[in-house]
Amino acid sequence: MLNEQRTGPQTRVDGSVDIARADKTGASVVTGAHGQYAEASIRKNLFFSYCAARATSVPATSQIGNIIWNPPGSGVNLSMLLWTAQIQVTSATTLGITIGYSAQATTPGTTASDAAGSCYLDASSPTSGKAKASAIATLTTAPTPVMNLFHTTAAIATTGVDQMHGDFEGLFTIPPGYAVALSAITAAVAAVGMTSTLTWEEIPV
């Protein structure tokens, strides 16, 4: 029985039955053809929350900062991915920024948001997705920190820190009925002091 392969790129649709790919020497080819997040983004499963110039609070029920809520019954888990943050105003006693979570069975109160939506940047981007992003929210319980993201020194100066960034790579999962938020460690960031982005993939439960 022949082990059939086809040389060169192939164009397929969802549900098609494909054969293995070979290069011009007949060797089997297995490769990541696109960027790490391309497939999920093209399928409109990746989302972002952009929080601009906010006085990010320490963990509190009156939370200020980048906050994402996964409503009960959403049918999806939030798999946390890339994050970025910068502090642009003197915040000498902040010490650093952490990410934390809390149970949130009801819609957060007193919400305000900056920008959020699908990473597939078309007209429907701002209204798509199950999770709800906020820059200000009243939560049932204060977030519990689970990881420090970066440190800021006492001599931060007016220029703040360089932009920090990282990738959770799906390490943290936010199930329905829970919220996740960025918070200051010891004292709130100064007014209009921090800008940040959180990204996540919505995966069916």
pLDDT of residue 159: 61
pLDDT of residue 100: 98
pLDDT of residue 23: 66
Tokens, residue 15:
């549900």
Q: How confident is the model at residue 139 (pLDDT cuts 50, 70, 90)?
A: very high
**CB contact at 8 A, 70 and 167:** no
pLDDT of residue 52: 93
pLDDT of residue 57: 95
pTM of this prediction? Answer: 0.87
pLDDT at 2 over 70: no
Tokens, residue 1:
């029985």
More confident residue, 127 or 143: 143
Nearest to 116 by CA among 132, 140, 102, 100: 132
pLDDT at 127 over 80: no
Q: Which amino acid is at 170?
A: G
**CB contact at 8 A, 146 and 172:** yes
